[in-house]
C-alpha cells in the first residue's frame, strides 16, 4: 500500500473483504460499511441470500466503477444439503458427477434475473462428509450459478434434496482467510492504523484480475487522464489481451479495451483522474 496516500484517499478507492453473517441482505451489509466509514458510495460484489454467510467483497468510493472486473469470477461454496431419503453413497456420487461440467440452469422464481435457461459451469462438486440424510459438500462454480437450485435439481434425480446451510469461501481473488467479520470491522474502524490493514487498494487488486501495460515515456499523461484514446506510441508494449489495466510506473491510470479504429489501439473504460 502506498504510504503517501491519506486514509481518505484510500477509502475513496479501495475494497474490503467482508465475512457476511447470516441475517442481513448483501445490500444491508454494503450500506452498513458505507455508513460506518461515512462514504458516499459502496457496492457489494456477488449477492448472497440473507441466510448465506461468507465472502462478500465491498468496493468503496470510485472503486465501485471497477466492480465488474472482480465480480464475474469463479466462486467456491461449502454447504449442507438434506436428502429427503437416504441414498447409497455410490449412487449419490454418480448423480453428482452428472452435474460436473456445463449445465443448463433456470434461475429460481424469486431471483431478480430473467427466468430463462442459462449455461453455467460446475468446476467441482464433492462430498466431504455424510451423516445419514445430511451431506456436507464443497463446490466450485462459474459466477452466476445458483447453488440452491443446483441442490434442488440434484434432488430431483435422487428422491428430493434441499439446502440447509451455505457458506461462500472464495470469490475470485477474495478468500474467507482474508475476510473480516462485521463485529471486528466495527472495532477496527476506530483505529486508522488498523483500518489501513484491511483496506485493499483498488490499483493493487486490479493487477490480480487484469493484465497490465505501462505508459511509454513519451506519452502525454495529462491528455490521457482526460480520457484520450491510446495510440501505439502511448504504450511501452501492447498487451495481447483485449482488456488491460494501464499504469505509469506505480500510478494507476485506468482500464482500457482494444479497438480497431485507424491508429487508435484502445479506448478507456475507466480513468482514475
Any residues with CB less than 8 A from the CB of 193 and at least 6 apart, and which? none
Cell 480497431 sits on residue: 260
H runs (alpha helix) in 38-181:
67-71, 89-97, 147-158
Give CA–CA dist 222/8, Å, rounded: 24
Give CA–CA dist 27/44, Å, rounded: 7
Q: What is the CA radius of gyration of the chain?
A: 22
Measuring CA to CA, which residue among 72, 75, 36 is closest to residue 166? 75
Classify 92 as helix, strand or coil. Answer: helix
Give CA–CA dist 169/114, Å, rounded: 27
Cell digits of residue 162: 434441499
Of 19, 49, 134, 184, which is the active-site residue?
49
Instruction: Confirm if 68 and 20 have CB atoms less than 8 A apart.
Output: no
Give CA–CA dist 130/128, Å, rounded: 7
Catalytic residue list contains 49: yes
User: Which helix (H) or strand (E) segment is 29 a member of?
Assistant: helix 26-37
Cell digits of residue 215: 505508459
Give the residue numbers marked as catalytic. Answer: 49
Amino acid at each position: 500500500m502506498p504510504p503517501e496516500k491519506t486514509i481518505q484517499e484510500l477509502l475513496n478507492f479501495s475494497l474490503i473483504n467482508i465475512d457476511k453473517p447470516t441475517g442481513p441482505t448483501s445490500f444491508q451489509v454494503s450500506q452498513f460499511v458505507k455508513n460506518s466509514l461515512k462514504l458516499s458510495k459502496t457496492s457489494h460484489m456477488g449477492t448472497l441470500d440473507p441466510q448465506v454467510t461468507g465472502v462478500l467483497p465491498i468496493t468503496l468510493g470510485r472503486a465501485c466503477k471497477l466492480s465488474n472486473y472482480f465480480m464475474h469470477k469463479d466462486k467456491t461454496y461449502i454447504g449442507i444439503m438434506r436428502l429427503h431419503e437416504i441414498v447409497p453413497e455410490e449412487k449419490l456420487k454418480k448423480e453428482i458427477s452428472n452435474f460436473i461440467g456445463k449445465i443448463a440452469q433456470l434461475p429460481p422464481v424469486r431471483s431478480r434475473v430473467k427466468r430463462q435457461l442459462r449455461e453455467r459451469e460446475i468446476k467441482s462438486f464433492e462430498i466431504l462428509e455424510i451423516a445419514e440424510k445430511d451431506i456436507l459438500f464443497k463446490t466450485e462454480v462459474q459466477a452466476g450459478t445458483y447453488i440452491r437450485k443446483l441442490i434442488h435439481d440434484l434432488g430431483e434425480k435422487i428422491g428430493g434434496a434441499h439446502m440447509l446451510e451455505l457458506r461462500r469461501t472464495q470469490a475470485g481473488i477474495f478468500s474467507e482467510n482474508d475476510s473480516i467479520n462485521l463485529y471486528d470491522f466495527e472495532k477496527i474502524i476506530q483505529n486508522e492504523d488498523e483500518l489501513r490493514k484491511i483496506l485493499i487498494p483498488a490499483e493493487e487488486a486490479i493487477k490480480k484480475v487484469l493484465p497490465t501495460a505501462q505508459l511509454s515515456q513519451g506519452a502525454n499523461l495529462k491528455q490521457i487522464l482526460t480520457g484520450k484514446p491510446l495510440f501505439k506510441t502511448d504504450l511501452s508494449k501492447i498487451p495481447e489481451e483485449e482488456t488491460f489495466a494501464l499504469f505509469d510506473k506505480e500510478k494507476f491510470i485506468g482500464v482500457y479495451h482494444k479497438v480497431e479504429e485507424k491508429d487508435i489501439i484502445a479506448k478507456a473504460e475507466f480513468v482514475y483522474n
